[in-house]
A = this chain, B = another copy of it.
Amino acid sequence: MSNSTRCAACKSLRRRCSEDCALAPYFPANNPQRFACVHRIYGASNVTKILEQLPIHARATTVDSMTFEASSRIQDPVYGCTQIIFKLQRQIVHAQYEIAKVQAELALHSAQHQMQQQNHTTNYQDQNQYYQAAFEQEEFHFDQ
């Protein structure tokens, strides 16, 4: 491959980019930042070693995930992308708390509803019994 068509990795490492360069398909010349990021954290030789142990169809995804992790490590050298994991775990704890809260509200609502229905039925039956008794007294009075 001529100098002008070297991949970003070979250009950065000032070497010839061979036809079978393991990095060329994933580090195009027009995105030198992508290789710089991965190289700074893992080093080109480690990336190459990891890629060469994988089937070709899995390599693009591997480079994507390594680029993501490397760029997270550059942004946050102490926590890297584990910071994202902590944040997501906190979000899940919060969401589980929310679910529990709404489920408790629903259970309370349901219990209150049941109690009110029982009260309505009792009041209605009492009222009915009162009026029926009153009518029966009147009827008894008419018969006399």
| Interface residue count on the A side (C-beta < 8 Å) | 51
What residues of chain B lie closer than 8 Å to A65, measured between beta carbons? 78-80, 82
A53 at the interface (CB under 8 A from B): yes
- Shortest A23–chain B CB gap in Å is 16
A117 at the interface (CB under 8 A from B): yes
What copy number does this chain have within its complex?
2
What residues of chain B lie closer than 8 Å to A105, measured between beta carbons? 106
A sample of 27 inter-chain contacts (CB < 8 A) reads: A42-B42, A46-B46, A58-B77, A58-B78, A61-B78, A61-B79, A65-B78, A65-B79, A65-B82, A66-B73, A66-B80, A69-B73, A84-B85, A85-B85, A85-B88, A88-B88, A91-B92, A95-B95, A95-B99, A98-B99, A99-B102, A102-B106, A109-B109, A116-B117, A120-B124, A123-B124, A138-B138
